[in-house]
Structure formats: C-alpha cells, structure tokens
Amino acid sequence: MKKILDLISEEMKKAFEEAGYDRELGKVTLSNRPDLCEYQCNGAMAGAKTYKKAPIMIANEVAEKLADSEIFSEAAAVMPGFLNLKVKEGFVTAYLKEMESKDKFGLDKPEKVKKIVIDYGGPNVAKPLHVGHLRSAIIGESIKRIARYAGHEVIGDIHLGDWGLQMGLIITELKERQPELIYFDESYTGEYPKEPPFTISQLEEIYPTASGKSKEDKAYKERAMEDTYKLQNGVRGHRALWKHIIQVSVSDLKKNYANLNVDFDLWKGESDVHDRIPGMVEYMKKEGYAHESEGALVVDVKKDTDTKEIPPCMILKSDGASLYNTTDLATIMERMEEIYPDQLIYVVDKRQELYFEQVFRCARKTKLVEEDTDLRFLGFGTMNGKDGKPFKTRDGGVMRLESLISDINEQMFQKITDNHEVEEEEARKTAKMVALSAVKYGDLSNQASKDYIFDVDRFTSFEGDTGPYILYTMVRIKSILAKYKEQGGNPETVDLQDSLSPSQKDLMLVLTKFTGMMESAYEELAPHKVCAYIYDLANAFNRFYHETKILTQEDEQVKAGFIALLKLTLAILEDCIHVLGFEAPERM
C-alpha cells in the first residue's frame, strides 16, 4: 500500500506538471508549522532559479491547479512561495479504512525476503547476567521482531560464551574443592552421573572465586589453563563436567530471558565451532591469508584508506590457543554453511566496535562470506546510573539483572496496589508487565548507540515519555471499548468516520504515518523510532480523549465512529509494543 506522503506528493507533482513545471518539484513533507497546515511543499522555491520566476508566482499557479483536488481541502500559496496544505477529511478516512483492511496495516512486503541472523544476548555461561547484558537482549529482541514484522526471515542466536579459560577456571576450582569427584579420575571409562555435582548458585559463586584466585596465584592460573586445554582437547571427564555447567547455566538463563520476554531460535555457543577451527586455520594458511607474526598467526586487515590504526586480526595465539576472534570467525563460517544468511547483525556493546571491524574485514578478505553478505555491527552505549557512571548496586557492586528486575517489579506492585484495590495475584502479574515496559521502553526510546541514564523513577512513571504511559493509554482504550459493549454496542461492527474536530483529525493523521515509520525503523534498525511514534500516538489519543465525549455521545453513529477510531489506535499500539517486546495488561 502506498504511503500517505507518497500519495500526497503524487497529487502535488501532477499539479506542478499541469502548471508547466518539473514534476519532481512536487515533493511534499510534513508541515513544520503544524499551527498553519498539515503538510507543505517547498517546490516553488526550489524551481524559482530554473524558471527565472518569483517563487510565489509558481506557487500560485500550482495552487490554482489544485482547486478541485480530491486530496487537498486547502492548498495555499504563501509568501515567499510555500504551499501550505491541508487534506480532506474523506481522504484521511478512506486511507485509514484501507490500512485497516490490510495485513500489517498495509506495510508492503519486501521485494526480496532477506535471511537475517541476529547475534545478541551473548551471556557467559556460569556467570550471572548483569545489567550489561540487558541492552543486548532488549535491543536484539526488538530488532528481530521489527525485521520479522517487515517480512524477513530472521534467526536469533544467543552465542553463549561457553568456551575458553572461564570454563577451565570453574573446573580447576571444582577440583580444589572436590578432588574425589569421578570426573577427575582419568582412568575411569564408565558413564558419568546424570545429575550435575553443583547448583546454579554454587556455580555463580565458584566462578568469581576462581577468577579472583587466578589473578593472585600464578600456579592456580596455570592449572586453569591446563584444564582449559584438557577440556578443549576432549578429555572425557572435563567434557562431562563442562556439559553439566552448560546444562545448569542454560536452564537458569532460559528462565531469566523468559522473564524479559526474550527468546532465541538458536542456543549455540562459542564451543559449537571448536571442531571447525583447525580446518579454518589450515584454509587461511593455505590460501596465504594468514601469516606468522611474533609466533602468533594473524591476518592483516588494514587498508590504505584507514584514518586510524586497524591492528591485524589474530587467529591463533603463540601457544596455538584460539581466541575470541577465532570462534567468531568460525561461527561466521558455520552460519554461512548452515544458514547462508544475506545479513548478519551483531548487537554488542559499542566498545567492541574495533574488534568487529577486524573480524568483518578478516571474514571478507578470507572469503568466509559472499561479497554481498551484509555484516552489520549494531553497537550500543552504556547504561549509566544517575551519577552518569556505569550502573551499579548501591554499594558499588555489579548489579545482577535478576535483582534489578525484581526490584522494579516490587516498586510497580506497590504503585498499582496504592492506586486501587486489586487481587494480589492480578496485581503481581500486571506489575510484571508494566515493569517490563518501563525497562524496555526506557532503553529502546534512546538511540541504541548512545549511553543513557537508567532512571527507575522516571521510567516507571505513568506520565511522560515512558512505557507505563503507553500501557496506561492502551488500558484506557480497552476500558472504553469494554464499557461500550456494556452499553450494548458492538465494537466489531463499527466503521471509521470523517473527523469532527482538530484533535480527532490530528489523531487520524498520526495513524496514517504508521507504515512509513515502520519502514524506516526496519531500514535503520531503529526501535527508538517506534517509541517516538507511539509516544506521539498516545499523546494524540489522549488529547482527543480529553476533548471528546465518547461514551456519553448521543448520536449513536458518531459514537460508533469514535469507537472504530479507538479500535484502530489500539491495534496499531499493540503491534508497536509487540515489536518492542512487551505487552499490555487488561487493567492497571
């Protein structure tokens, strides 16, 4: 379905042409003087030089051609040569009716469906999720949903950090504590127990302890490196323990991500590509891409056009061990082989930008990807506390994601039960939904690449540019629709009608912008555009609501028209919050 601005521009271009001017001058934009008009065209100013005419003369001639336009109720030429435009009520109503009748409100399907892999989440096994992981999960989930909404085939992969020294450290610490465990008996050839020898909370304590010890005790670190080596080289007991670590950790992660309404199609990790590494290294050597440098194996990735230093991409350390780079490259190789995506999007902390620049260049140079495979780094900024420094707990420690979320849930629960009487169970459920909207909207409403201040008090407010405000607006609409039913009305059979007031028209015009907004949110991978839009939409709705008698309207037909408008507003808000990754309760 054509975007409304395109339809309007088309009409304007026709008028320019009829008046004897270049039709391309007829581009229409949203008005930057909403007090004067709804749309505007500055084409007459742009054409003045070419046609050696005063802009106002051109504008007047064009305006004349629009006197009987089906689209414009007003096309006024004003000094020095602007065309100020208003559209007909009937045109807006017909446009919204068409939107309503179409799948996704008329958002065009892509010409070519792209296969996209999104690499997001990126938690590390056996380490608790902390707020640093929050942004990747929230933004990645939203990008995934936006791209799917746009009609693409999208695969989300969590890319667990489940390999390397962090795993060796845990094994070493376990050995210190329980050397008698069967896993450490290298002569043992029988089956290992099904039950893991630790719980998630033990695991979460073991890792930091081990990591701390390894920093102080050289011999301990060496033992951890040896255990890492044994694990990576397939020593049975080490592999069995590692599987337990993954199992315990992943089931905990699943619970945590489910609470965030985040889910992944693939739960692959760094370890999954371990067996590909030798082949990949061989290939890079054989083709002459990789060479030795101070004992390590590297691929040069700098270009003559670089303005900053781009160091070589290291494939193997001098001791032959693989690195973060190695697994990322092997993962690209695997994804190309198994999925063959058109695009790979990495939603990772922007401090890893240079690293990904190296990896991408290396993948291109070594032809792990096709020439037209789009490798995209979507780097996000830091989530800061009110003091402008990275978000911490009150005593300065790293804030666990679980505690952060449960604190906000609790705060929301208090707010909801203070406001009115609700059953505890319902209040808890609602609080969870509203709290999630607070956290997600608070994050997504900022441009991803920017740092932002995590301000719980502001995010959880029911007023202003917040998730709860959006949900509050939706709940308000739901409650009007329910009351309409109680009055005997049937919201299923109502039809949109021409607007009767400026606030109603304004609301209708905001609704017409939906498809254009969604298109650019996808093209620019920009969830903040969806947030900005629903904030506008909620404001437009609330202005209309405050100025209009809806349920007390005497004229049944007029009332039905309002109800139809409410329904459409709600439906569009529903789709928008869905792509942002949260949902609205029935009441709050």
Q: Residues binding ligand ARG: what is the number (CB under 6 A)?
A: 8
Nearer to ligand ARG, 448 or 521 (CB): 448
State whether the Cα torsion 313-318-324-326 is positive or negative.
positive
Minimum distance from residue 452 beta carbon to ligand ARG (Å): 19
326 binds ligand ARG (CB under 6 A): no
Please give the Cα distance from 55 to 360 (Å, whole number). 50
Minimum distance from residue 157 beta carbon to ligand ARG (Å): 9
- Segment 368-397, which members bind ligand ARG (CB under 6 A)? none
Nearer to ligand ARG, 23 or 276 (CB): 276
Q: What is the dihedral of CA 13, 18, 22, 24, to 10 degrees?
A: 10
Nearer to ligand ARG, 130 or 505 (CB): 130
Nearer to ligand ARG, 356 or 413 (CB): 356
Nearer to ligand ARG, 124 or 249 (CB): 124
Minimum distance from residue 527 beta carbon to ligand ARG (Å): 19
Nearer to ligand ARG, 123 or 585 (CB): 123
Nearer to ligand ARG, 150 or 165 (CB): 165
Q: Which two tokens stand for residue 312?
A: 């070589």
47 binds ligand ARG (CB under 6 A): no
Q: Which two tokens stand for residue 183?
A: 């896993």
Nearest to 495 by CA among 556, 542, 576: 556
Q: Which two tokens stand for residue 172?
A: 């070493």
159 binds ligand ARG (CB under 6 A): yes
DSSP structural state of residue 348? E
Minimum distance from residue 439 beta carbon to ligand ARG (Å): 20
Nearer to ligand ARG, 43 or 161 (CB): 161
Inter-residue contact 382 to 443 (CB < 8 Å): no
Nearer to ligand ARG, 135 or 145 (CB): 135
Minimum distance from residue 356 beta carbon to ligand ARG (Å): 8
> First and final CA of the chain: distance in angstroms?
36
Give one DSSP letter per residue of 288-332, joined into a string: T-EEEETTEEEE----TT-SS--PPEEEE-TTS-B-HHHHHHHHH
Q: Which of 117, 348, 438, 494 binds ligand ARG (CB under 6 A)?
A: 348
Minimum distance from residue 121 beta carbon to ligand ARG (Å): 8
Minimum distance from residue 161 beta carbon to ligand ARG (Å): 4
Nearest to 110 by CA among 144, 156, 148, 141: 148
Using CB positions, name the residue nearest to ligand ARG.
122
Inter-residue contact 152 to 107 (CB < 8 Å): no
Q: Which of 105, 242, 267, 346 binds ligand ARG (CB under 6 A)?
A: 346
Q: Which of 81, 161, 164, 442 binds ligand ARG (CB under 6 A)?
A: 161
Rg, Å, the chain Cα set: 29
Residue type, 428: R
Nearest to 517 by CA among 30, 154, 11: 30
272 binds ligand ARG (CB under 6 A): no
* SS3 (DSSP) at 137: helix
Minimum distance from residue 359 beta carbon to ligand ARG (Å): 8
Residue 100-139 contact track with ligand ARG, rule CB under 6 A, x = bound: -------------------x--x-x---------------
Nearest to 96 by CA among 449, 567, 467, 579: 567
Minimum distance from residue 346 beta carbon to ligand ARG (Å): 6
DSSP structural state of residue 394? T
H or E element in which residue 84 lies: strand 82-87
Inter-residue contact 340 to 115 (CB < 8 Å): yes
Contacts of 511 (CB under 8 A, 6+ apart): 96, 99, 537, 568, 569, 572
Minimum distance from residue 164 beta carbon to ligand ARG (Å): 10
- The residues that touch ligand ARG, with contacts defined as CB under 6 A, are 119, 122, 124, 159, 161, 328, 346, 348
